[in-house]
Structure 1
Amino acid sequence: MTEYGRGRGPEPWHPEDPLYGDQGWTGHQTQQGQAPYGGAPQQEYPQEPQQQYQQQYPQQQYAEHPQQAYPQQQYPEYQQPQQYAEQQPAYAPQQHQQHQQHQQHQQQHQQPVYDTEGWDTGQVPYMAAVQADPYVGAEPYAQQPVPGYPGEAPDLYATAEAYPPPRPPGQRHLEPEPVEQEEEEAESGFLAGGGGRDGDDDGGDPAGGGRRGGRSKGGKAKQRSGAACLIATLVIVGVLGGGGYYGYTYIKARFGAPEDYAGEGTGESIDVEIPKGSGLLQMGVILKKAGVVASAQAFADAAAKLPPGKAIQAGVYPLKKKMSAAAVVEVMSDPSKLNVVTVAEGKRNAEVYKLIDAKLGKPEGTTNEIARREAKNMGLPAWAANPKAIDPLEGFLYPARYDLSSDTTPESLLKQMVKNATDKYGEMGIEAKAKELGLENPLQVVTVASLVNAEGKNHDDFRKMAEVVYNRLKKTNDVTNQKLEFDSTYNYIKGKSDINFSLKEARAFEHPYNTHNVKGLPPGPIGNPGADALNATLNPDHGGWMFFVSVDGDKTTFTKTYEEHQKLADEFLARQKQKNGG
């Protein structure tokens, strides 16, 4: 290049050429603002049809200078413009001489036209003249002297080491570099069953040009191809089979009936605990994890068919492995099948002990013996100590349902019941309430509550019954002389629940718990009061009730005077005689 910019020399076309560009193919003239040869305007000629050039210059080969697309003799000899000569007189003779030599050199080397394909070279046809290249044979990228004419650029394609000449646009495709045979074999090694050169040397191939690796065309190559096909087939079959299996499983789970077992299950038993608040599907999940049902949905569907009011309760159920959903629902919908111990309100300890023995499979009397022996270790509060009590734990086996598990023991279950009772009494504040009610200690509060729970028929009777107890305990009571005369105390001693007994015998029977014989409260509770009886004991009716009687055995009638009570009592005795045939 010169200080005036690029001349009309050939454009480099190799991508690694620092002068790489594509201006030659866009039909551009010389760069804008750079007139060649001293600023003289270049004469332009219109493009002629492709057929004309092909006929005029047939089968001409590409020359070293791509600019010279037409024979040199068609153009007149280039004459240096007078303006240029006047501006640079010092160089005119030498430049003129070089110009003549350049024209002679160009005439000797007639340039053919490579326009056989009819593509646009981007150069203006019929250009004025082609300059001589003084740099032919020189290094293309070496330091070159300033050319004779301003704007003239060196020809970078004149030597064998230079970049190749440009190609027509339709032929500009990078040719792939030759790949050695062993690299091609390595790329196809998976299908061929090998990995490039494997060391098999079966001799050279005379026709193959000395292939490296010695791979034969048959034999082991065919074996490898067969093995590869077998492996590919197995992979495809595996993929299709796995997809089909999962597809079948999805469709069956989405649209088919849920999986279910048949029958009553195997001989292996298992205790399954259903937490409170569990829904049917959540229950099914728990049963599925335990191995009882085949699917949670099967159990949920079977349980949804239960009639209203027969919902499955939370608790521990003794079940078996691999039971049908219907069989599981049948067991769990029966409350008696629950693996639990339920302490009802007012139930005595003797009954609770028998129930525990039955549920835990212990010999009768086991729990009773443990309760009496380990009473001090059960967690009773300090105010509950009572050496006169028939059963130290009476009144402390709090009414509730207790779920049993495989590791439940009589001792652990009794401790849980005592803890519940102690916690409940503490929440209700019976220690502070005892003195307000005129009682000696909190244990007497529990005792009154046990009497209320035993004599009352329903929850509506409890507050009136508590009022009767407090009124009879008063020192001003001259009707019963501070005797409670409750039949429940006599039955407690006898271990019965019989209302048809001889009053005369009851009054003659001496025992600290017999309120027909002694004044005041018994030494301890006669049962385990529930929350309603406890609340009624702490909040009596204050209606002045002194007597009560149940005429029909269901409804309790309360009275304030003895006369009213006696009248009702006579009606009750007459009914009892008629009932017994007397």
Structure 2
Amino acid sequence: MTEYGRGQGSEPWHPDDPLYGDDGWRGQQAEQGRHSSYDGQPQHYPQQPQTQQQYGDWGTGERDGYGGQQYPQYDQQYASQEQPQYDQNGWPVGTHPQDPYAGAPADPYGQQTGTYGGEQADYYGSPDAYPPPEPPSRRRTEPEPEPDWDPGPDQGEHAFFAGGGDDDGDQEPGDRRGRGERRGRGGKEKQRRNGFACLVVVLVFGGGLGGIGYFGYQFYQDRFGSAPDFAGAGNGEQVTVTIPAGSGGFAIGQELKKMGVVKSVDAFVAAQSANPQGKTIQDGVYTLQKEMSAASAVELMLSPKSRNNLIIAEGKRNGAVYELIDKRLGVEQGTTAKVAETKWKTLGLPDWAANHGDVRDPLEGFLYPSSYAVAKGQKPEAVLKQMVARASEKYAELDFEGKAEGLGLEGPWELVTVASLVQAEGKTHDDFRRMSEVIYNRLKTTNTETNQLLQFDSTFNYLKGESNIDISESEINSNKDPYNTYTNKGLPPGPIGNPGAEALQAALNPTDEGWIYFVATDGVNKTEFARTHDEFLKLKDKFNAS
């Protein structure tokens, strides 16, 4: 007998074939005591001569793996017939008297269509059918596995994204097992990966072109383009613009554009950068014109003529501040003072600034000296809240609560009061630290020079609402008001003005040189200090002489 699969051309079947399994070739071989050539051993047929191939092998399943099942009619039919000869590729050559699969009356499979489920298959109609499949009635009863290959472009997937054609191009047309293995073992997944990769490349390439175009446009605009801008110094229509504190060039440009002063924010930012003083533009209220060129707007904002801020000077008392606010808001005089008197608890004072007895104005010392954007249309409450917030932030920044006790004071309220006295009595900033020491030395219980009396004219002037430096002793000694430090020991009930930054620092850091007396010898700008009462009398004579 001839061994199938050894030296006979292309092998018709393979162990990976679905029919080659425990119930196919191997199961039936074990039953018949034979060994398949696919197991690595030759297959012989002792009941037949070695030189003859018979179609009986087909009936026994030795050729196609149908398990050695015998078909008596089939074997008898063809055992007596002359068998065809085959070339090395397994195809019949020469002539034979009868087509073994023709529909002759003697052919049990040619007429008995019921044996094949009511249909007759053309097993030799094409090379793809060789060797012929088993008759349908003899096949396994298990359901055929669903094909796991990619249905391809005809089933709804475009060939470009399916990746078809490339993988199969190197396979010979006749090698159908190779095609089936690749398609069954991962062809679909690979095709989908190829299609997804193509899609990613398209997206990345398209996004890259878009990004290049955008940055190219930006580069051109930065180098050669110009932002929209008006021409000239304005159309004559004035407008008030409020610039918040901490605003940079972009924020300022936004405010100006919103009010119709400049045409674009970019134009203003560019003009501000081009002006050597552009970065010095401060917050506040400005009177400008609509439709100004950006360069003209920058130039005008740098000029004092455009500034319209409310400036609170250092040491100014609250009464004077209220009058300034009324005037700026265009309201009736006394309006802001009334709000302060009736609504002071709602204006944002810290807790430690409330509920102090004999205080003339709870807001005194909390209208922090600075520049404020105040314009018509605002309410007095809003302006006062802004000032109180600025003072509270400053006191918190300097840690008044934490440092008051270390200075011999009962709390931050007294520290603000000390700072207000330093501001009121000091003529120049050089006086502040020494004036601060005078206050602390006079408050000491060991003070035998003034017996804890401050004896400041500034406190008496505060209660009188005056600024008089020539006060008679009889007038002072007869007034028992708590703010009169000639007749009351210790500090007044509260601050007597609004101290500035340097007075606050001096209150926290007094000198330590023994100063306890002082006299404004010229009555205006010059203050001299003394350690003893005798030195003080000499300074007093100097003042009287001037």
Larger RCO (alpha carbons 8 Å, 6+ apart): 1
1:347 paired to 2:339: no
1:465 equivalent to 2:404? Answer: no
Q: CA deviation at 1:469?
A: 0.5
Q: Identify the match of residue 543 of structure 2 among 546, 550, 572.
A: 572
Contact 1:349/1:397, CA 8 A, preserved across alignment: yes
Pair 1:275–1:542, CA change in 2 (3 A)? closer
Partner of 2:349: 380
RMSD (CA atoms): 3.8
Match of 1:107 in 2: none
SS of 2:364's partner is coil
Distance 1:359 1:345 in 2: 19
TM-score by length of 2: 0.52
Match of 2:237 in 1: 266
Say which of 375, 399, 409 aligns to 2:379. Answer: 409
Residue 357 (1) aligns with residue 326 (2)? yes
Residue 367 (str. 1) matches residue 367 (str. 2): no
Mapped partners of 2:351, 2:227: distance in 1: 63
Structure 1 residue 471: Cα displacement: 1.1
Asked if 1 retains the 8 angstrom alpha-carbon contact of 2:241 and 2:256, the reply is: no
- Report what 1:516 is aligned to: 486
Q: 1:293 to 1:434 in 2, by over 3 A?
A: closer
Residue 321 (structure 1) aligned with residue 286 (structure 2):
no
The match for 2:514 is: 544
For 1:421 and 1:293, the matched residues in 2 are separated by 34
Percentage of pairs with the same residue: 52
Q: Which runs of 5+ in 1 are unaligned?
A: 1-249, 576-582
Q: Secondary structure at the match of 2:325?
A: helix
Whether the aligned pair in 2 keeps the contact of 1:315 and 1:403 (CA below 8 Å) is yes
Aligned to 1:527: 497
Alpha-carbon separation, structure 2, partners of 1:458 and 1:310: 31
In the alignment, which residue of structure 1 is the partner of 2:50? none
Contact 2:278–2:302 under 8 Å retained in 1: no
In structure 2, give the amino acid aligned to 1:347.
K
Mapped to 2, the partners of 1:381 and 1:567 lie a distance apart of 44
Letter in 1 for 2:447: N
Shift of 1:264: 6.0
Q: How many residues align?
A: 329
Q: Which structure 2 residues correspond to residues 163-178 of structure 1 after superposition, within 5 A?
A: none
Paired position in structure 2 for 1:482: 452
Letter in 2 for 1:567: K
Separation in 2, partners of 1:438, 1:255: 64
1:502 shift after superposition = 3.4
Check the 8 A contact 2:328/2:375 in 1, yes or no: no
* Structure 2 CA distance for partners of 1:374 and 1:400, relative to 1, 3 Å: same
1:447 Cα offset (Å): 0.8
SS at match of 2:404: helix
Q: Aligned-pair distance for 1:349?
A: 1.0
**Equivalent residue, structure 2, for 1:240:** none
Question: Taking structure 1 as reference, are residues 572 and 322 closer, same or farther at Cα in structure 2, changes over 3 Å only?
Answer: same
Paired with 2:340 and 2:276, the residues of 1 have a C-alpha distance of 41
Please state how far the C-alpha of 1:524 moved relative to its aligned partner: 0.7
Residue of structure 2 equivalent to 1:226: none
Instruction: Report which of the two structures shows the higher radius of gyration computed on alpha carbons.
Output: 1
- Note the C-alpha offset of 1:265: 1.8
In 1: Cα distance, 2:544 partner to 2:351 partner: 44
Write out aligned runs for 1:118-133 (5 A): none
Q: Secondary structure at the match of 1:318?
A: strand
Q: Is the Cα contact below 8 Å between 1:339 and 1:359 reproduced in 2?
A: no
Give the conservation status (yes or no) of the 8 Å contact 1:293–1:322: yes
**SS class of match (2:439):** helix
For 2:298 and 2:434, the matched residues in 1 are separated by 43
Partner secondary structure for residue 419 of structure 1: helix
What residue is the counterpart of 1:133 in the other structure? none
Q: Distance in 1 between matches of 2:282 and 2:345?
A: 35
> Which digits, 9 at most, give the CA deviation of each residue in 1:273-294, with x for residues without a partner?
2653635x87556534531145
Report matched runs for 1:154-233 at 5 Å.
none
Partners in 2 of 1:564 and 1:270 — Cα distance?
57
Is the CA contact (8 Å cut-off) linking 2:272 and 2:279 kept in structure 1? no
Range with bigger deviation, 553-562 or 403-412? 403-412
Distance 1:383 1:303, change over 3 A: closer
2:532 to 561, 566, 576: 561
CA distance in 2, matches of 1:255, 1:381: 50
- Partner of 1:444 in structure 2? 414
Whichever residue aligns with residue 345 of structure 2, its letter is K
Distance 2:258 2:244 in 1: 12
1:482 Cα deviation after fit: 1.9
> How far is 1:499 from its partner?
2.1
Deviations 1:363-412 (A, max 9, x none): 11111100110112223233322231000111122233322367632112
CA 1:333/1:558 → structure 2, altered by over 3 Å: closer, same or farther?
same
Normalising to structure 1: TM-score of the pair? Answer: 0.49
CA distance in 2, matches of 1:536, 1:327: 43
Query: How much does 1:261 deviate?
Result: 3.6
Q: Verify the 8 A CA contact 1:260 1:293 in the aligned structure 2.
A: no
| Counterpart residue identity of residue 231, structure 2 | D
Q: Distance in 2 between matches of 1:265 and 1:301?
A: 24
Displacement of 1:547 in angstroms is 0.8
Q: Distance in 1 between matches of 2:258 and 2:387?
A: 30
Deviation per CA, 1:478-517, whole angstroms, max 9, x where unpaired? 3223221111112212223332443443333332112123
Name 2:27's counterpart in structure 1: none
Question: CA, structure 1 residues 282+546, in 2 after alignment: closer, same or farther (shift >3 Å)?
Answer: same
Question: Does the 8 Å CA contact 2:243/2:252 hold for their aligned counterparts?
Answer: no
Please list the CA deviations of residues 97-118 of structure 1 after superposition, one character each: whole Å capped at 9, or x if unmatched: xxxxxxxxxxxxxxxxxxxxxx
Q: Which residue does 1:85 correspond to in 2? A: none
Change in CA separation of 1:259 and 1:416 when aligned onto 2, cut-off 3 Å:
closer
Amino acid aligned to 2:340: A
2:386 is paired with a residue of what secondary structure? helix
471 and 255 in structure 1: CA distance in 2 versus 1, 3 angstrom threshold: closer
Within 2, Cα distance between the matches of 1:485 and 1:435?
23
